[in-house]
A and B are shown apart, each in its own frame.
Chain A
Amino acid sequence: MKSEKFRGFILISVLLTIFSLLCVNAFALDVKRTVLPNGLTVLQSENQNLPIVMVTLLVKAGQLYEPSEKAGLANITSKLLAEGTKTRTSQAISEEIDFMGASLDSSAASDFITITLSVLKKDVDKGFELFSDILLNPGFPKTEVERIKELIKGIMRQREEDPAFVAGRTFRKEVFGEHPYGMVLEGAAETIDLIKREDIVKFYSDFFSPDNSILSVSGDLSREELELLINKYIGGWKKSGMPEIKLSKTYESKTRKVIKIERDLTQANIVLGNLGISRDHPDFYAVSVMNYILGGGGFSSRLMQSVRGEKGLAYDVHSFFAAQKDAGYFQIGVQTKNESANVAINDIITQINRMRNEEVSDEELSEAKAYLTGSFPRRLDTNRKIADFLASVEFYKLGMDYVEKYPEFINEVTKEDVQRVAMKYLDAEKFVLVVVADQNKAMIKY
């Protein structure tokens, strides 16, 4: 009786899955893309269901373009945009933004800087005025530069208390070496000390140019309304010549590297992985499916099933491929009590080998595909998500039909592809392993 019911359920879920593959297409976004005479790319999705407007401005100016001795430059530049313009002090900006209950933030990532504005429709004009002011007229006041440098250094000190951060930072350094991706976004205390106001002004004027930027807007704003706002507030943004950028090379590690860091902790924080792929690599989608099965698929992943579900070794274990513009990395992370560290590492290596040496099952493959395609609409279920999504689709040149194409890319992946990319991008021998732990208890044997 029970088993019959059960089979019925499986059947239903299979049917539903097939249906989902068909109906993802129905979820196309209505997006308008224009390139202004000054070179600024504008993407807009109009949704009138809530009186809010979400804006994302992306400037191709991230960590990737910093000189290594001045690591943290992109981050500091982003943090200083809202700390004073030619006509407004830092305090005046925050006062005006807070009074509207709006938010105006800027931050740096590996490949770009973003400025985001979230504002009620009724305040959109004021919001755009402030947004354009910090974008076009930042003053980088000397006192603010010094203050922000100290603040960032302080925040970095505090983050040293987080063993997962220490492990991740060390791991990236080993994987990327001298490549800019090898540093955390904030840089290091010594590199921050070397950054002068002139460096920030130069970084800003080198990269903050309309033809190097993407503006993305989602929410209750018509095309005409957006056009008026752009003309009024960022119409005068002029192109500037872009500097030649020479990127450092990444290198493939030839040996295993094990780094042990001593801390007074109850758990060993373990990070294991290697160099991965860049976002434009043709293997990206096969890697997405493979990683879902290995350790990206939450409670359904092999790592979670084994390390947490069967052995009770950890609260969380997961893997991911960070695929950036110029390169990427693959990382597995887990925390387990010091005494279980070796068992957990052994289990992880076993799962890597299994992934490399055996084909995945039909069921695993179809479930991974069903999740990756079926969850796509949830990636676009708020205006904030839509604005950010459109900007990154444009940045990574995924194409205006990406929403429709994505299910095809995923569904084309075969079992052979999965094993091939596992062989190629998972390394059970020459990995980088970082363990932050009470080393006397962990007794790492790798």
Chain B
Amino acid sequence: MGFIRAILVFISLVYPIASEAASVSEHVLKNGLRVVIVEDHKAPIATFQVWYRVGSIDEPLGKSGLSHLLEHMMFKGTAKYGPSELSRIVQSNGGMNNAYTTKDYTVYFEIFSSDRITLSLDLESDRMQNLTLDPEEVRSEKKVVMEERRLRYEDDPQNSLFEEVVAVAFKVHPYQRPVIGWMSDIKYIERNDLYDYYKTFYSPDNALIVIVGDVKPDEIMLKVKDYFEDIPSGPKIKRIRSTEPEQRGEKRVLLRKEAELPYIIVVYNTPGFPHEDSYALDVLNLILSGGKSSRLYRSLVYEKQIALNISANYSSFNRDPYLFLFSATATPGNDITELEKTLYEEIEHIKKEKPSEFEIQKAKNQIESSFIMGQDSIFLQAMKYGVFEMLGDWRLMDKYLEGIRKVTPGDVVNVANKYLHEDNRTVGILIPTKQVKSEK
């Protein structure tokens, strides 16, 4: 459960762009639960997703990883369905289910043949209100999450660097902390922390249901009411509010760890959607790293051959301002300082000289195409609706599309100058400590 970082990549692939053509119906139940249903009959499949507006951004100090651990516990049973029974029921009906936690929200989903999709109603309405949170199970699941942390971070040098860089880039905002949590925080989370958190945030008025696929909206809506409308609303949620102050100078962090090749991450503080600059930042992202013809790939990987890979990632769909992120692995025998210098040269280049209309159009075509291709999967469609709902309303995808279409070469130069400058950046470098021997 929980592909935490993969979600970042996921969203940049989805790049939603228009709501036209889809048949969408929406409802708000008496208890405040929002429901969005998208009818799509191309395959006899449907997905049912529950989105809770709670993520690592909401965790109190010393309790990092609480949202993610609670996500794991959501599979450990209610009075009605014991530990792991939920997954068993889903699978023995040919379905698949999982969940993931992000900085801003937590999502549970099932994918079924459409004749089976109403099973989700029973399972999800049950665990929205009746989670057991058995202390023994909590103890055991904390061990599982610690293993997950070892797997994803402690023993992965590039992910470890990512964690370091983000922790330095934010000094005030809770985005500083990894979604999976720090090891000692995971260790000291108690059953009652989970219980209070669950009671506060897992209420219908803090949740959203997204259903996409081969369903009849009116029929399934009646059933949603049957299962969910009697669940009482939750207490008024007081969110932690914090604003990252303006950065006034480069920050650098080094990580020495057993690894094969040096690796660099460079991040800049940036606003997110729907800030007026977010559209041009999206286009800038693709000009720099969208495909093998993008500027960074062509320069660093293809021509100079100083990087094995290079990626830029600007994910603008966050609750609060996040980061414009670059990362690259040095080719064997090449110096990481050379790689860093060349990366900055490319950034300086786009700050001084407008990109061509062709490059702008290419970026826009890529966004449009990936939107249409994304519709091939009902799961990605549901993700798209959910992401925009978390920002306020699924219709914002039209606003996003409009914004992208209006971006000019001049806008791209402006945002590059405004955000991609030295004082606004944090740099992390992975320095391999000892040569790992490759055995035969």
Known contacts A16-B116, A337-B150, A371 near B292 by CB under 8 Å = no
CB-CB < 8 A to B135: which residues of A?
none
Assembly CA distance A9 to B82 (angstroms)? 14
B331 within 8 A of A: yes
Q: Are B151 and A370 in contact (CB under 8 A)?
A: no
B42-60 residues at the A interface, CB under 8 angstroms: 42-45
Q: Are A52 and B308 in contact (CB under 8 A)?
A: no
A39 within 8 A of B: no
Q: Are B365 and A155 in contact (CB under 8 A)?
A: no
B182 within 8 A of A: no
Chain B CB within 10 A, most for which of A51, A154, A310, A383: A154
Which of B91-99, B219-227, B392-400, B418-426 lines the interface with chain A? Answer: B91-99
Q: Assuming A17-B93, A52-B373, A370-B93, what are 12 further A-B pairs, CB within 8 angstroms?
A: A13-B93, A13-B119, A50-B42, A98-B362, A155-B308, A155-B309, A158-B260, A161-B436, A297-B91, A312-B144, A315-B145, A377-B43
Chain A CB within 10 A, most for which of B87, B93, B332, B377: B93
Q: Are B151 and A371 in contact (CB under 8 A)?
A: no
B317-344 residues at the A interface, CB under 8 angstroms: 329, 331-332
A183-240 residues at the B interface, CB under 8 angstroms: none
A157 within 8 A of B: yes
Assembly CA distance A311 to B137 (angstroms)? 10
A30 within 8 A of B: no
Assembly CA distance A155 to B438 (angstroms)? 14
A77 within 8 A of B: no
Chain A at the B interface: mostly helix, strand, loop or mixed? Answer: helix
Distance in Å from the Cβ of A203 to the closest Cβ of chain B? Answer: 23
B193 within 8 A of A: no
B69-111 residues at the A interface, CB under 8 angstroms: 75, 79-80, 83-84, 87-89, 91-96, 111
Q: Nearest chain-B residue to A386 (Cβ)?
A: B43
Known contacts A13-B93, A101-B365, A300-B88, A49 near B157 by CB under 8 Å = no
Q: Nearest chain-B residue to A269 (Cβ)?
A: B155
Distance in Å from the Cβ of A174 to the closest Cβ of chain B? Answer: 11
Q: Nearest chain-B residue to A190 (Cβ)?
A: B440
Assembly CA distance A300 to B96 (angstroms)? 11
B376 within 8 A of A: yes
Which residues of B are at the interface with A, using a C-beta cutoff of 8 A? 42-45, 75, 79-80, 83-84, 87-89, 91-96, 111, 113, 115-116, 119, 122, 139-148, 150-151, 154-158, 258-261, 290-294, 298, 301-302, 305, 308-309, 329, 331-332, 358, 361-362, 365-370, 372-373, 375-378, 434, 436, 438-439
Q: Are B260 and A161 in contact (CB under 8 A)?
A: yes
Distance in Å from the Cβ of A117 to the closest Cβ of chain B? Answer: 12
CB-CB < 8 A to B43: which residues of A?
377, 380-382
With beta carbons under 8 angstroms apart, the residue of B45, B158, B366 that contacts A101 is B366
Distance in Å from the Cβ of A16 to the closest Cβ of chain B? Answer: 6
With beta carbons under 8 angstroms apart, the residue of A147, A154, A312 that contacts B141 is A312
CB-CB < 8 A to A311: which residues of B?
140
CB-CB < 8 A to A264: which residues of B?
258, 434
Assembly CA distance A267 to B150 (angstroms)? 7
Assembly CA distance A98 to B298 (angstroms)? 13
Q: Are B42 and A157 in contact (CB under 8 A)?
A: no
A-B contact pairs, 7 of them (CB 8 A): A20-B116, A52-B372, A120-B373, A315-B148, A378-B96, A378-B113, A381-B378
Assembly CA distance A218 to B88 (angstroms)? 33
Known contacts A98-B362, A160-B436, A300-B88, A382 near B377 by CB under 8 Å = yes
CB-CB < 8 A to B155: which residues of A?
163, 265-267
With beta carbons under 8 angstroms apart, the residue of B93, B365, B376 that contacts A20 is B93
Distance in Å from the Cβ of B298 to the closest Cβ of chain A? Answer: 7
CB-CB < 8 A to B260: which residues of A?
157-158, 160-161
CB-CB < 8 A to B151: which residues of A?
267, 315-316, 335
Q: Are B88 and A91 in contact (CB under 8 A)?
A: no
A367 within 8 A of B: yes
Q: Nearest chain-B residue to A162 (Cβ)?
A: B156
Known contacts A94-B292, A367-B92, A312 near B436 by CB under 8 Å = no
Q: Are A19 and B258 in contact (CB under 8 A)?
A: no
A299 within 8 A of B: yes
CB-CB < 8 A to B370: which residues of A?
101
Q: Are B147 and A267 in contact (CB under 8 A)?
A: yes
Q: Nearest chain-B residue to A437 (Cβ)?
A: B155
